[in-house]
Amino acid sequence: MPLTDTACKNAKCPADKARTRFTDAGGLYLEVVPTGGKHWRWKYRFGGKEKRLALGTYPQVSLAIARRTRDDARVMLKSGTDPVAAKQDLKRVAKVSLETTFEPVARAWHEHWKSSKSPRHADYVLRRLEADVFPEIGKRPIADLTAPILLAVAKKIETRGAVDIAKRAWQTCGQIFRYAVANGLLERNPATDVKPSDALKPRIKTHYARLEAKEMPELLRKIEAYQGTPATRLSMKLMALTFVRTGELIAAHWDEFDLEAAEWRIPKERMKMKTPHVVPLSTQAVEVLAAIHELRGLNGLLFHGERDHDKPMSNNTILGALKRMGYAGRMTGHGFRGVASTILHEMGHRHDIIELQLAHQERNDVSAAYNFATYLPQRRKMMQEWADHLDKMRSNAKFLSIAGTKRA
């Protein structure tokens, strides 16, 4: 049987074996070693000999990406080219190019750096380099690049109003130069000569648009009556009930949910603080998940894109729905978090429990496992009371306060 995301996640190798292979299809398999490492391999024949092509490490390379890479290699094989030999030739060309221009160095850095990042974030960083940096300095000898040249690149990005992107471009270039120094291509990093704050405009911190608590009843009723796609309506309902970050919601996979235990366990790779997070699910949240299941099944993403089911729906889907309901500039997906925090404090819930459920705490490696389930019974009770409170607000047009709900 072909592999599934759940099977890949749960795949293990017995301690008494050197490796275990989990077969997908078309020669693709996942090789697991006792230490927990999981490596994609593609088995094929070329020139009468059996060969294997390494396709990356799971979960950095997902099942869907591994299949697409296998299919690309198949096309190459049918054209008469050995995929392993082609990969080796590419490495040799890149090694030669590293000694000359910035772009090949940057791509080599990205290949090295992305292994510990989410595919989505890694793709974003590469696209920003391709859009803003490579056109300016990609073909210039890396040894000739100086701090003023890098600053000119950042200033050009800043002139279009993208202050944050300008600073990130500077920081990314700094990482690329450190990689070049570490690999003997440069003697020093020119990005260290100037700090972004020395020349770029300071970022003006803005808060996400959010409604007042008294405006929530109307919003909840509009969500219930939303005439857009059912998936978008359900995503807003789940957002209100769980108040997770938008990115955490839209990229959620079914294998993160235990509906019997009424828990959503978000892996550290998808969390801002890079530690796992548990979201206790109210009975209302479980009902929403059941509706999503009935609508889209129990495989892969809860909220996949309309065209590409291997990718999550757009970050702007919820924002666009709120805009269509008349909340442009007044409410965002992130705004549900602020409203929840305000109301839960007014209801008398403890600040540290609210902050923990919002996943605001900075955590170190020692405390991460402890914080994962800290105050879970209290948080479970709080999340159910929150869901019940939303029901009351939605059903009562005159429900403007939380009088009588304060806790002792």
Q: Which residues are catalytic?
A: 245, 272, 334, 337, 360, 370
How many beta carbons lie within 10 A of that of residue 138, not counting itself? 16
**CB–CB of 127/174 below 8 Å?**
no
**CB–CB of 38/8 below 8 Å?**
yes
Return the closest-CA partner of residue 259 out of 237, 231, 238, 287.
Answer: 287
Distance of CA 273 to the CA centre of its chain: 12
Extract the tokens encoding 320. Answer: 């666009």
Nearest-5° Cα angle at 278, 281 to 337: 75
State the Rg of the chain over Cα: 25
Nearest-5° Cα angle at 108, 106 to 113: 90
Q: Provide the sign of the torsion angle of the four alpha carbons 48, 61, 365, 261, taken in this order.
A: negative
Extract the tokens encoding 144. Answer: 């000739």
| Alpha carbons 124 and 12: distance in angstroms, whole number | 31
Query: Rounded to the nearest 5°, which phi and psi values hold at 280?
Result: -65, 135
Q: Provide the sign of the torsion angle of the four alpha carbons 230, 234, 237, 243, taken in this order.
A: negative
Cα–Cα separations (whole angstroms), residue 212 to 76, 191, 205? 58, 44, 20
Return the closest-CA partner of residue 209 out of 300, 320, 351, 329.
Answer: 329
Nearest-5° Cα angle at 369, 363 to 371: 55
Cα–Cα separations (whole angstroms), residue 245 to 164, 236, 258? 20, 12, 20
| Alpha carbons 223 and 278: distance in angstroms, whole number | 25
